[in-house]
Amino acid sequence: MKPNHLLAMATLGVALGAVTGQALHAQATPPVYYVAEVDVTDLDGYLKEYAPKAATSSKDFGGQTLAAGQEITQIEGAPPKRRVVIVKWNSLEQLQAWRNSE
């Protein structure tokens, strides 16, 4: 193999290694999932007043609502509350900042 080809392959190998290392480092912190079980006594008020504000608030702090509803299928364990919400966060710090906010 010509020396120019070897140098190009070595440079490519170093570049790929750096990109792969960066990608692995970026994945080192797994996401955090917040699961809330909610007892609702006033469903209409919950849906019209509380839920939209809570969703906007969590989104403002970096949360992503994955699921929310009341059609829950129990597979095992104690039955869940009437409503369940699952929110994904990129870090525990984001979740804690949201929980500690007004």
The structure tokens listed for 51 are: 């839920």
Range of the domain at 93: 32-99
Strands 83-89 and 64-69: antiparallel
Q: Which amino acid is located at 76 in the chain?
A: E
pLDDT-based confidence at residue 87 (cuts at 50, 70, 90)? very high
Residue pLDDT, tens place only, 19-76:
555 655 666 889 999 999 888 889 899 889 988 998 999 999 999 999 888 888 888 9
For residues 17 and 66, membership in a common domain is answered with: no
CA-CA distance, 9 to 11, in Å (whole number)?
5
For residues 9 and 37, membership in a common domain is answered with: no
Is the model more confident about 17 or about 76? 76
Could you tell me the CA-to-CA distances from 9 to 17, 20, 35, 54, 66 in Å, in that order? 12, 16, 48, 53, 44
- pLDDT score, position 25: 60
For residues 68 and 50, membership in a common domain is answered with: yes
